[in-house]
Amino acid sequence: MKTVRVLVCSYPGIFADTVIKELQEYQAIEIVGLVYSERIFSAHESWIGGAIRMLKTSGINYAVMQFMQTDLYLLLKYLRFCVSLDRQIPVITTKDINSPMGLSFIKSLNADVLLLANFNQKVSSAVISSPTIACLNIHPSTLPNFKGVDPVFAALYAGEKKLGVTVHLVDDNFDTGDIIDQAIIPTDENRSVFKHQVHLFQHGGKLAANIIKTLPQSIEILTKNIGGNYDSWPTKAKIKSFKKRGKSLIKPIEYISALKSLFIH
């Protein structure tokens, strides 16, 4: 059995590890490296500057949700409360994957597949063409609908009764490459945005693994990714309206449940 070498690009946190965990279930898949983004918005902006901009744009409740699924989770990993799924995998942390350092790291690993999941950087044509087989992205929406920064919040805010996750080819724009596979799940009125996100990245990891493990045969395109809408960061007004409808961004019990079921020793 040929092993497919995969390089994963993500933002460090629960969603990254959710996808890594799904890939590690398959002996035919070897994760040879990780590229972690260390920026919130711009490559030229500090982490503190990005955090302040998030607070100004989306408010404290949204910032807390982001903190819990990223920095708080990383602290729990550091304190050894959570399994370090990436402990023995080469890692680079960068504000710009397209920099000479980023490209050098990627090329040194000779990956068959580059897999993006919750990665907040636009990749160059040099990065896209670096893997020997394909560059893929896991996007938690029913593309071409809900392209953009937080498609799960956008879909729930719009009152969608179904959510989805899509694996698609990466091209020169955000979330516009040809669609390879897609899964649909019903929304749950009792679930928070965070819980839906975890569920979708679990499904997305499975979809991606099922595609990757069959390579290097040619990738079949399910459909073109034409049209749709693009949403940026949710505004304070949208968050306030969302919460007024009785919706929640994150529930502590769901957060603890996610840790227990997926990551706690």
Which tokens go with 217? Answer: 């045969």
Compute the CA torsion angle 250, 168, 177, 136 (nearest 10 deg): 100
Closest Cα partner for 85 from 18, 8, 138?
18
Q: Is residue 151 reached through a cis peptide bond, with omega within 30 degrees of 0 on the bond before it?
A: no
Answer yes or no: are the C-beta atoms of 180 and 220 closer than 8 Å: yes
Q: Which residues have C-beta within 8 Å of that of residue 202, sequence separation ≥ 6?
A: 18, 22
Mark 59-81 as b/e (b = at least 16 C-beta within 10 Å). beebbebbbbbbeebbeebeeee
Total residue length of the chain: 265
Residue 61 near residue 80 (C-beta atoms within 8 A): no
Q: Give the residue numbers marked as catalytic.
A: 139
* H or E, element range at 169: strand 162-169
| Integer Cα distance of 123 and 227 in angstroms | 21
Cα separation, 265 vs 249, whole angstroms: 26
